[in-house]
Structure 1
């Protein structure tokens, strides 16, 4: 194990602890600044050199993704509570998108997953394993019988990608003026909801 410097005088015991502490520092910085942070920012907060952070995270994008994913558990709990009892897949997903777009402006860590600068720097972010895991975890908490609605594993993963792309588009360009929540619900029910329900009619 490579020599570690800094760490506030208390070096981590192993690589797993080092990774957790780096992610924890990134989460704290994002929460405090409400913006993306750099490898240098995290290294400085830990009292280590940048190369130490790069050993565990090869790029700022990788660290930002890890920090964002580590920070969304509370959001997922709130989202699950918000859509509880909605068994219709289109209604559940419509409410999930409206709720997420509202919350993303109050949750810096979540916003990073959909932010323009992050997505432009990392064009595969929406189809990455981390983004897919986030989306699959999200819809897995819904009170929806996805199999009865015609969704197998492959279809669910395509649905997750579609919904992530939809949310990103609204996050990047909410409209001028932006739709209010009721108008956004009507729009999503008509277009996204129709596509979601179509899977039950033609599961191919």
Structure 2
């Protein structure tokens, strides 16, 4: 880690450097929205753009990391919303539907997934960062995934499937867009059966 710059106060290690870059990116997003630049973040920190690029290869990568780092509120709200749902299929359906409904109200998540930004994020929807974020969502559910017969590997695939579904609805909500009970009925018809089949396999 280079120690020059940083407005005269160098971070003690790479973890602190990343934290400070993410904080500067959040300030840039608050000022400029999702169109902030690496140069803007670098100026805030008193470093060169190359220093920021050593930790984040692009503005999109930095936006993704910043958005995920600041979605704790959303995760808490979602966890509370599905806290009484123990059936895997019902929980997955409600989690997808509620995420789509909350998206306009969640600033950082909206920046990451909203139309116009979703296409830029699409290549990363199956990235390790995105999958880790998705896994953190499912781990907050009240569902006993192991008892439902879903292994760790299958849980990772479920996370990927849910992210792909959310992404597809963000990119093209439908004409007209499905909302409320209509959205849940659609997901129950086409998404829930996969989870129900897993449960039947456990019971049999």
Pick the TM interval, shorter chain. 0.7 to 0.9
> What is the CA–CA distance in structure 1 between the aligned matches of 2:101 and 2:28, rounded to whole Å?
22
Q: Secondary structure in 2 aligned to 1:189?
A: helix
Cα-Cα RMSD: 2.2
Q: Secondary structure in 1 aligned to 2:191?
A: helix
* Closer, same or farther: CA 29–47 of 1 in aligned 2, 3 Å: same
Q: What residue in structure 2 maps to residue 75 of structure 1?
A: 74
> What is the Cα deviation at residue 6 of structure 1?
5.0
Higher deviation after alignment, 99-108 or 33-42: 33-42
Q: How many residues align?
A: 202
Higher deviation after alignment, 131-140 or 112-121: 112-121
Higher deviation after alignment, 108-117 or 190-199: 108-117
Compute the TM-score of the two structures, normalised by the length of structure 1.
Answer: 0.87
> What is the CA–CA distance in structure 2 between the aligned matches of 1:29 and 1:196, rounded to whole Å?
41
- Work out whether 1:199 is the aligned partner of 2:191: no
Compute the TM-score of the two structures, normalised by the length of structure 2.
Answer: 0.87
Cα contact 1:61–1:118 (8 A) shared by 2: no
- Work out whether 1:155 is the aligned partner of 2:154: yes
5+ unaligned residues in a row in structure 2: which ranges?
none
Cα contact 1:149–1:197 (8 A) shared by 2: no
* Closer, same or farther: CA 153–15 of 1 in aligned 2, 3 Å: closer
Q: What residue in structure 2 maps to residue 12 of structure 1?
A: 11
* Closer, same or farther: CA 14–175 of 1 in aligned 2, 3 Å: same
> What is the CA–CA distance in structure 2 between the aligned matches of 1:36 and 1:129, rounded to whole Å?
24
5+ unaligned residues in a row in structure 1: which ranges?
none
> What is the CA–CA distance in structure 2 between the aligned matches of 1:88 and 1:31, rounded to whole Å?
39
Q: What residue in structure 1 maps to residue 2 of structure 2?
A: 2
